[in-house]
Structures are given as structure tokens and as C-alpha cells.
Amino acid sequence: MTPNEPDKLEAIEKNLAANRMRRAQQGVIAVAILLVAIVVLFSFQKESNDEQTVEESGDSSQPFSVELAARQSRQAREFETLLIDRIRRDGYLTVTVHTALLSSPENANDQFRKADQPDTNLVWGALYGVDTHFPNAAKWKRILTDRGNVNSHILRRSVFKKTSRPTEHWAARGITQPFDVYVLALAWHGDRTLDAMQAPVRDALCHIERTINADGRSLQFGGDSVILGYAGENILLDEYVDPIAAAHPCKLNEIRGIFYLCSRSAVVLHMPLIDAGFHSILFTRGNLPPEAYTINGIMDALLIGDLDRGFTDSAAAQYQRYQKGVDMEKARALFYR
């Protein structure tokens, strides 16, 4: 052995030891990475299973309260029975929609927000207002329009009609013949927004019928409609008023569907109206432009007979169609039943 060989052997041994140490460290790191991957995979699988369970159990927008879910299920059955009985009895259904003209006192020159000008107002006569959108883009037949009743602060009334052709949903309920759906839309003066918001509840609870002779029929709207609703601004977010108070001491003696297409209506209106006996058609979680295509989405579901998730899906589809850049998932998340 040469004088330098011990030093070389020692260097080799050190290199071998260092290599063994690196391999050991790499092994530990590999095991750690594998464990992390297993945990992530397990978590993802669990989350996917949870999402699938929610989806299979029904509409994820439904409440988690067992008692409330049972009550709404019972109300849904009663509502379905009401529709079937009305179709068989009359051959048509009626829907009443109250709207309040948008107003902008701070900008008196805004023609789309003048409280007393329905012809140009965003919720009535503008492109997506109910009186323009329904007979044009939505293909409803206008069978009546007039100036309403100035004594009640209603500036315009219009009645629209569509015919429901047989569908698998209705056939499953024994409805195999066409029937008509009539929608009465009422434009309230913008200064009477609270009255307009309370009107669907008051009509239903106090059995206030709004009779209109049109299309060769004496049509009963208001409290006799199977669905009542409101579209416009939600002034209850600024100053809350009990929506049932205006109808005291009236009570609902037969199920009615109800919707409120105004910003965050689910926050202030959903539970009081469910407690009063109404069947929830559609409410909103967030801000919503009060435009008529969303009302038309509700009517699409009624015409087809998709009375559960159909109301949410049809309204969301219309909203997603007209609100560019909003995907269907976000559109669905806006609505609540």
C-alpha cells in the first residue's frame, strides 16, 4: 500500500457514507411524498363522494333542516294537486306578477328609472321589461293591455297567454291534453314599491281576486292564481317590514306558489312566507336585475311541468343566457327554493 492509499480509502469511505445518507434522505422524502399523495387522493375522493351524495339527494339549494324539508315536501305535493285539479276543472292556470317601476329621484333624467313612466321603465317597457320581453323574445301572446287602475297606483296591466303541449312530466300526472297558462303582469308606480311587494301575499292570504274578461274567458287572477310573485327592487333590505303584516289577520286556506325576483329575497322573505303556508317557487341569494327573462324561466318550468328543480334550472338557464360571462353553476347558485 502506498503512502497515499489510506487517504484515498478514507475518502472513498466518506463518499460511500455520504451516498448512503443521500439515498436514505431521498427514501424518506419519497415516502413522505407518497403519504401526502395518498392523503390528498383520499380527501379528493371523499369530497367527490360528498358532492355526489348531495346531488343525488336533490337540489343542493334545499334547506338542511329535516323539519323544514318535510314541510316543503308536503307543500310541494299539495301544490302539484292544486295544479292538476285546476287544469282538469278549468283547462287553464293563471299566474299574477306584481312589478314596481324602478325610480331614481337623484337622476330625474334617467328615462329607464322614472317612477311614473312604465313605457320606458327597465322593469316594464324597456327591452327586458316584462311588457316588452314576454310578447317578443319570450313568444307569449298578448291578449290584453290597459292603463290599470289609477286609484290603486297600478299604471299598466297586461295579460299574456301560452299553451302547454303534452309533456312527459304532465303525462305522468295524468294530464295528456293541452292547457293554457295566463300571466297577469301589473306595473305599480315606483313610489308604491312596498305595496307592490306586499301585494302577492295580501292577494293570496286575503283571497283578493282580480277578474279580467279576456280570450273568451272570465279569468281569475290575484288570490285565485296558482302562482303569485314580485319582480323589482327589494326595499326591505333598507328597512325591513313584516311581509305578512299587511294581510293580518288573513290566512291562506289553499296552497299557493310564490316567488320574489329581487335582490336577496331569500334573506328577508323566504322563511316568513314558508311559515305562512306558501309553496316556494323561487327566491334569490344575491343581487338580481329585475328583468323579465327570469320570470319567463319560471313559466317555462310550469308549462313543461318540471315542478321541482325545473324552476331553478329554467330560471338559471335564462339568467345565464342573458347575463354574458355567467356560467350555469353560478347562475344556479343565485337562486334558492
Domain boundary among 27, 54, 81: 54
Would you tell me how many other CB atoms lie within 10 Å of the CB of residue 57? Answer: 10
Are both 96 and 230 inside the same structural domain? yes
In a domain? residue 265: yes
Total of domains in the chain: 2
Give the 3-state secondary structure of residue 60. coil
In a domain? residue 251: yes
Q: pLDDT truncated to tens, each residue of the chain (337 aa)? A: 444 444 544 554 555 455 555 554 555 444 444 444 444 344 434 333 443 333 333 344 444 578 888 888 899 999 999 999 999 999 999 999 999 999 876 665 677 888 889 999 999 999 999 999 999 999 999 999 998 776 679 999 999 999 999 899 999 999 999 999 999 999 999 999 999 999 999 999 999 999 999 999 999 999 999 999 999 999 999 999 998 888 989 999 999 999 999 999 999 999 999 999 999 999 999 999 999 999 999 999 999 999 989 999 999 999 999 998 899 999 999 999 9
Q: Please give the full DSSP string across 197-236, using - where no structure is assigned.
A: HHHHHHHHHTT-EEEEEETTEEEEEETTSSEEEEES--GG
In a domain? residue 303: yes
At 70 the pLDDT is 87
Are both 41 and 139 inside the same structural domain? no
Are both 49 and 70 inside the same structural domain? no
At 67 the pLDDT is 83
In a domain? residue 323: yes
Are both 268 and 200 inside the same structural domain? yes
| Packed helices 292-304 and 309-322: angle between N→C axes, nearest 10 degrees | 140
Domain boundary among 14, 33, 54: 54
Phi, psi of 279 (to 5 degrees): -95, 125
Are both 30 and 71 inside the same structural domain? no
Are both 85 and 26 inside the same structural domain? no
At 129 the pLDDT is 97
Query: How is residue 124 written as a grid cell?
Result: 316594464
Query: Strands 179-188, 209-214: parallel, antiparallel or unpaired by DSSP?
Result: unpaired
Are both 10 and 148 inside the same structural domain? no
At 72 the pLDDT is 85
At 64 the pLDDT is 56
Are both 240 and 315 inside the same structural domain? yes
In a domain? residue 60: no
At 108 the pLDDT is 57
Q: H or E stretch including 274?
A: helix 270-275
Specify which residues 163 forms β-bridges with.
Answer: 180
In a domain? residue 59: no
In a domain? residue 75: yes
Are both 70 and 110 inside the same structural domain? yes
C-alpha to C-alpha distance for 279 and 284, rounded to whole angstroms: 15
Are both 2 and 149 inside the same structural domain? no
Which residues, 6+ apart, have CB-to-CB distance to 112 below 8 Å?
A: 102, 120, 121, 122, 126
Q: Are 271 and 297 in contact (CB under 8 A)?
A: no
**What is the reported pTM?**
0.80
Phi, psi of 316 (to 5 degrees): -65, -40
At 115 the pLDDT is 85
Measured at the CA of 208, the angle between CA 230 and CA 242, to 5 degrees, comes to: 50
Structural domain range at position 130: 66-336
In a domain? residue 81: yes
Domain boundary among 54, 75, 92: 54
Which residues, 6+ apart, have CB-to-CB distance to 143 below 8 Å?
A: 159, 160, 161, 182, 214, 215
Are both 85 and 136 inside the same structural domain? yes
Query: How is residue 115 written as a grid cell?
Result: 317612477
At 31 the pLDDT is 45
Are both 36 and 106 inside the same structural domain? no
